[in-house]
Amino acid sequence: MLSDQQYDDLIETRARRPEAVAEAARSRKPRDQMDTGRGLLLIAADHAARGVVGTEENPTALASRRDLLGRLVVAMDHPAVDGIIATADVIEELLLLRALDDKIVIGSMNRSGLAGSAWEMDDRFNCYDPRGLVDSRLDGGKMLLRIDMKDPASNATIVACGNNVTRLGRSQLISVVEPLPSVRLGGRSQPSADPESMARAVSVASGLGATSAYTWLQLPPIGDLERALGASSLPTLMQGGDPNRNPDLTLRRWEEGLRLPQVRGLVAGRNILYPTGRQMGEILTIAGELVHRV
C-alpha cells in the first residue's frame, strides 16, 4: 500500500531531517476539534506501543511498520474516517506522508503497562505529554485508566490521569479517558466489563481533574452499555471491541451503542485495519454507514 519510493523516502527523512516532523506538524491543515455533533469514526493505532502486535490470523501483523502505515494511509483517505488515535511515532510518520490533513488527531499518552508484564497495572505516562500535544498541534490526548481494586498500582494511574486531564483542560485540548475495570487472572490483567463495574469506573473517570469540560470517555461495546453510561453525561466514543472474535455480534453492538445519546462515535483498530472475512475498504464503509447514519 506504500510504494518502495514512499517508504525509502520516509526512512531517509527520519535519518537525515528529523526537523521535518515539526515542519509537517506546523503545516498540517487542522480540523475543528471534535465539533461534529455526532458521527465520529476514529482509527486506533496505539496497540504496538503496548507490545500488542498480533491479530487473530497473524501474531506479528502490526510488527510490519510498512504494512501498518499503508493500511493507515488507506484508512485516512476513506471519506468515512474522521481521524486517528495513535502514539507519536505513528502520528509523525503519517504527518510526513501528508495523511492527516483535515483529520482529528489524538495522541496516546500512557502505554507502559505492557500486556502480560508483572507491572501491567503500573501504567505510567510514557508517550505524549500535554506540552507535546500542544507543540504538535494535535486535538487532544488519550489515556487508559485500568482500575484493579486489588492492585495499588492503579492508584498512581488514577492520580496521573487526573493531573493530565487538568493540564489538557487548561489548554482546551480534549482528554479521551478509557476507564476499564480489571482483575488479575492467571498472571495477566483481564477486563471486568460487567455493567456494575463499568458504571463504577465511568464514575471515577468522569470526576478526574480540575475540570471535565474537555473530557470524553472511551468505552468497550459491552452488552449493557446504556446502564454503564447512566453514570455520566460526558460525550463518549465506543471502542471497536475484540478484533474478529464475532464480527456479526460486534457490528450489532456498534449499531446498538451508537443510538445512545452520549455516544458520539466509534474508535476501532485491528478489527478495521486487519479484518477477518472482509476487505478493509468494505469494513470501513460498513462502520462509516453505521456511525454516520445514526
CATH of the domain at 76: 3.20.20.70
Rounded to an integer, what distance in angstroms lies between the CA atom of residue 183 and that of residue 103?
Answer: 36
> Which sign, positive or negative, has the C-alpha torsion 160, 90, 262, 148?
negative
- Decide if 286 is inside a domain: yes
Residue 51 is part of which domain span?
A: 4-19+36-293
Residue 83 has pLDDT above 80, yes or no: yes
Residue 294 has pLDDT above 70, yes or no: no
pLDDT value of position 35: 63
- Decide if 266 is inside a domain: yes
β-strands 188-191, 174-185: how paired?
A: antiparallel
Number of H helices, E strands in the chain: 11, 9
- Decide if 151 is inside a domain: yes
Residue 222 has pLDDT above 90, yes or no: no
The rounded percent of the chain whose pLDDT value lies above 70 is: 97
pLDDT value of position 245: 65
Q: How confident is the model at residue 136 (pLDDT cuts 50, 70, 90)?
A: very high
- Decide if 168 is inside a domain: yes
Q: How many domains does the chain have?
A: 1
| 169: enclosing H helix or E strand | helix 153-170
- Decide if 27 is inside a domain: no
- Decide if 30 is inside a domain: no
Weakest-pLDDT range from 11-25, 73-87, 182-196, 254-268: 182-196
- Decide if 25 is inside a domain: no
Helix 19-27 and helix 88-96, axial crossing angle in degrees, nearest 10: 70
